[in-house]
Chains A and B, each alone.
Chain A
Amino acid sequence: MALNGVFYSLMILAFLAFFVSRFLTLKTVKGDIRRLHSRPVYYGLNSLFLTVFPAVILLIVWSFAQSILIDEKVKQQIPENFITEDAPLNLIMSEVDRLSEGLKQLVDQGTLSATKVENEDSELFGIEDKLESAGVFLSSSISPEVLSASRSKFAMEAFGSSTRNWLAVLVSVLGFFWSLKNSTAEFRARNHVERITLFLLGTAATLAIFTSLGIVLSMIFEALRFFGMHPWTDFFFGSTWAPSFSAGSELSILPLLWGTLYISFVALLVSVPIGLYSAIYLSEYASKPIRAIAKPLLEILAGIPTIVYGLFALTTFGPLLRYFFGDGGFLGVEWMSDSRSVITAGVVMGMMLIPFVSSLSDDIINAVPQSLRDGSYGLGATQSETVRKVILPAALPGIIGAILLAASRAIGETMIVVLGAGAVAKFAGNPLEALTTITTRIVSQLTGDLEFDSPETLVAFALGLTLFTITLGLNVLALYIVRKYREQYE
């Protein structure tokens, strides 16, 4: 039985379970709903959950366990002397995976029969052509060892999956019949359904947390591998970023950090005043019709993908700057040699952050109670005095939080700097010169076909981890400040 067969069976069983148990329960009270403990729909749902969930859990757990167990078995089948320096175990295993996957595809297409794969060795020589026509490409010709391992993997998988599928349907049927005995008026179906729902909600929340935890852990392990190959003193305290894949790379984060912070600073210099002023205008001065038009227009900026901002920096804003400050340009100065520069990336990133700052600040300013404005106006303060002396001080912690959130976005921003900032890693002060950032270097270190086993590629994880630590710190600080501010009015 194939997996989609299982899904159809489960769907039919679930459908049956819902209506049958609802019908049976209603029958026990002769249609008088008031004598039931719960509304009829809960009896149906309770049956449905019992029919579906144990089977689904079995499917998931079995699949994980199966792939781990089969992998272990296949590894044991590969002869010791077959493993060499050139062909380490993990390469052989991936070859085996590809081949067994290919066999499965051929069987699914009907080109090959499953019994042949499992029993008749000889039939399989020369199936490379067949595999290729099915879209499976192998790196080398198939060796007997790999073939036999793939065959046994295929056989074990086929057996395991079909057992799993039949078992799942069986569990589902059992669950269905078992749930029918709960079709009585006294059964507290609502409580059961609510408990299961609660469990589902909890699982959803836990999954999100575990995912982020997994990301952090994987970064930490890869970063540790990097620090095993490269001195951490050079990474944190060196002065040069010069990766070379031959040998003797100098991989220091400091020049990259300088570029990152410099460009983020320029971005904040652009976005904070403009964003804040537009928030003040929108929340305090704009009339209703203007606000209704201006606020969505401003927020359109937030919906533009950052790669588009990057293109704008590369093709429009950078060349424009160069037209003014570049060689033979409008001003006759030679301050800018390339259209990529700190200013190019920083200003465009600032534009991207304007709606971010303005909509957060706008929310915060709107959260300042009207009674404070009334109090200030009631004392004869003008609107600008009220904004400057009452509203902004009251909203300040929240605005600082918004700025920190914007800063952490600026530091983590990638596409604009990839296209607009350049690739020169150095400590330069001239904002019209090209610099590079942490995110840009991560992209360039990992572009192309690479194996993750040299310090030049693994450095990306150390860079990423540092970046993550910085932005996490900023976010935590921002949330702390915003939360502290919120308590004031509650």
Chain B
Amino acid sequence: MKDQTYLDRESNLTPGISKISAKNVNVYYDDVQALKDVSVEIEKNAVTSFIGPSGCGKSTFLRCLNRMNDTIDICKVTGQILLEGEDIYDPKIDPVQLRAKVGMVFQKPNPFPKSVYDNIAYGPKIHGLANTKSDLDEIVEKSLRRAAIWDEVKDRLSSPATGLSGGQQQRICIARAIATSPDILLMDEPCSALDPIATAQVEELIDELRENFCVVIVTHSMQQAARVSKKTAFFHLGSLVEFGDTEKIFTNPNDPRTESYITGRIG
């Protein structure tokens, strides 16, 4: 019965292919409400992008999906977020285990001040994904290859990751995130600190990752959203204004606010 009403509302989605379903999510920072009643269905093996002007709550919502907001004392989340049918805000859920399944890449490249190898091996080591050194080597190589940076760093695995260029650092962070083999990859403006060439490389990478992961990306660049994502959500002033196929959002949006934003009249 519950499923029925929800299907009525979001008729273009079927529950079978949704990975994350968020219902009526509200987020408060102390007394300030940052998110109002957001409900979204995020598909498996697809790229979903969140767009909207600064301060619209898209990053906040992204951080709700792996409970990164828990590290902020004043942040309070209400509503329900289901990951494959399980409520991730259930007290029984350990946020540590959740975050192992839901990887995250941040706006600014944040490699640890360790070697390239140790950066990638960090996640697999703490989760015990590799029993032997050769297993670990394999995971590191595979992750670096998938992040399209293996060729650039294979000869300097033991040199510090902080010495790489910004674009390389960001791809190291992506490799680090996929090394723990998460189901979902959250990316918070991963290209905002990168130049166009590095951006193109990361976008290409996102396109490849789509085959194995469910990718959610927050971006300020509407072109980027149009290029990489299958679904797009437009946030404005803490509410979800419109959510649907990217093509539809960008060519024939339902809401006048969406149209104003993508044509550059507000934002």
> Which chain B positions have C-beta within 8 A of A374?
68, 71, 104, 106, 110
Complex-state Cα separation, A488 to B114, whole angstroms: 11
Q: Is A375 an interface residue (CB 8 A)?
A: yes
Which residue from A288, A380, A390 sits with its C-beta under 8 Å from B112? Answer: A390
> Which chain A positions have C-beta within 8 A of B66?
378
**Do A389 and B99 touch across chains, with their CB atoms under 8 A apart?**
no
**Do B106 and A379 touch across chains, with their CB atoms under 8 A apart?**
no
**Do B127 and A380 touch across chains, with their CB atoms under 8 A apart?**
yes
Complex-state Cα separation, A389 to B103, whole angstroms: 18
**Do B71 and A379 touch across chains, with their CB atoms under 8 A apart?**
no
**What string of 1s and 0s marks CB contacts (under 8 Å) between B147-188 and chain A?**
000000000000000100000000001001100100000000
> Which chain A positions have C-beta within 8 A of B112?
372, 375-376, 390, 393-394
Complex-state Cα separation, A287 to B126, whole angstroms: 26
**Do B180 and A379 touch across chains, with their CB atoms under 8 A apart?**
yes
Complex-state Cα separation, A369 to B110, whole angstroms: 9
Q: Is B73 an interface residue (CB 8 A)?
A: yes
Complex-state Cα separation, A285 to B48, whole angstroms: 35
CB distance from A230 to the nearest CB of B (A): 51
Question: A381 — nearest CB in chain B belongs to which residue?
Answer: B126
Question: B180 — nearest CB in chain A belongs to which residue?
Answer: A379
Complex-state Cα separation, A488 to B161, whole angstroms: 11
Q: Is B240 an interface residue (CB 8 A)?
A: no
Which residue from B73, B108, B114, B177 sits with its C-beta under 8 Å from A379? Answer: B177
**Size bracket, chain A contacts:** 20 to 34
- Asked if A488 meets B106 with Cβ closer than 8 Å, knowing A379-B123, A381-B96, the reply is no
CB distance from B91 to the nearest CB of A (A): 17
- Asked if A377 meets B108 with Cβ closer than 8 Å, knowing A385-B126, A389-B122, the reply is no
Complex-state Cα separation, A371 to B108, whole angstroms: 8
- Asked if A379 meets B113 with Cβ closer than 8 Å, knowing A287-B73, A371-B106, the reply is no
Which of A372, A377, A385: most chain B CB closer than 10 A? Answer: A377
- Asked if A488 meets B162 with Cβ closer than 8 Å, knowing A375-B173, A379-B176, the reply is yes
> Which chain A positions have C-beta within 8 A of B123?
379-381
Complex-state Cα separation, A256 to B173, whole angstroms: 54
**Do B73 and A288 touch across chains, with their CB atoms under 8 A apart?**
yes
Q: Is B228 an interface residue (CB 8 A)?
A: no
CB distance from A401 to the nearest CB of B (A): 16
**Do B99 and A380 touch across chains, with their CB atoms under 8 A apart?**
yes
> Which chain A positions have C-beta within 8 A of B99?
377-381
Which of B97, B122, B173, B180: most chain A CB closer than 10 A? Answer: B122
- Asked if A371 meets B110 with Cβ closer than 8 Å, knowing A378-B68, A380-B100, A488-B162, the reply is yes
> Which chain B positions have C-beta within 8 A of A378?
66, 68, 99, 103-106, 177
Which residues of B (206-249) have their CB < 8 Å from a CB of A? Answer: none
Complex-state Cα separation, A243 to B249, whole angstroms: 92
Which residue from A288, A377, A393 sits with its C-beta under 8 Å from B113? Answer: A393
**What string of 1s and 0s marks CB contacts (under 8 Å) between B47-83 and chain A?**
0000000000000000000101001010000000000
**Do A377 and B71 touch across chains, with their CB atoms under 8 A apart?**
yes
- Asked if A380 meets B180 with Cβ closer than 8 Å, knowing A371-B108, A374-B110, A389-B126, the reply is yes
Complex-state Cα separation, A287 to B71, whole angstroms: 12
> Which chain B positions have C-beta within 8 A of A409?
none
Complex-state Cα separation, A379 to B68, whole angstroms: 11
CB distance from A399 to the nearest CB of B (A): 14
**What string of 1s and 0s marks CB contacts (under 8 Å) between A345-378 and chain B?**
0000000000000000000000001011111111
Question: A373 — nearest CB in chain B belongs to which residue?
Answer: B71
Complex-state Cα separation, A241 to B173, whole angstroms: 61
> Which chain A positions have C-beta within 8 A of B127?
380
> Which chain B positions have C-beta within 8 A of A380?
96-101, 123, 126-127, 180
Q: Is A163 an interface residue (CB 8 A)?
A: no
Which of B68, B103, B104, B111: most chain A CB closer than 10 A? Answer: B104
> Which chain B positions have C-beta within 8 A of A28?
none
Question: B111 — nearest CB in chain A belongs to which residue?
Answer: A375
Question: A380 — nearest CB in chain B belongs to which residue?
Answer: B100
**What string of 1s and 0s marks CB contacts (under 8 Å) between A399-418 and chain B?**
00000000000000000000
Q: Is A382 an interface residue (CB 8 A)?
A: yes
CB distance from B147 to the nearest CB of A (A): 14
CB distance from B170 to the nearest CB of A (A): 12
Which of B71, B73, B98: most chain A CB closer than 10 A? Answer: B71
The 5 closest A-B pairs by CB, nearest first: A380-B100, A378-B104, A371-B110, A380-B99, A379-B123
A-B contact pairs, 22 of them (CB 8 A): A371-B106, A371-B110, A372-B112, A375-B110, A375-B111, A375-B173, A376-B112, A377-B71, A378-B68, A378-B99, A378-B105, A378-B106, A378-B177, A379-B99, A379-B100, A379-B177, A379-B180, A380-B97, A380-B99, A380-B126, A381-B99, A382-B96
Assuming A378-B105, A380-B96, A393-B112, what are 8 further A-B pairs, CB within 8 angstroms? A371-B110, A373-B71, A374-B106, A375-B173, A378-B177, A379-B99, A380-B101, A390-B112
Interface residues of B (CB under 8 A from A): 66, 68, 71, 73, 96-101, 103-106, 108, 110-114, 122-123, 126-127, 162, 173, 176-177, 180
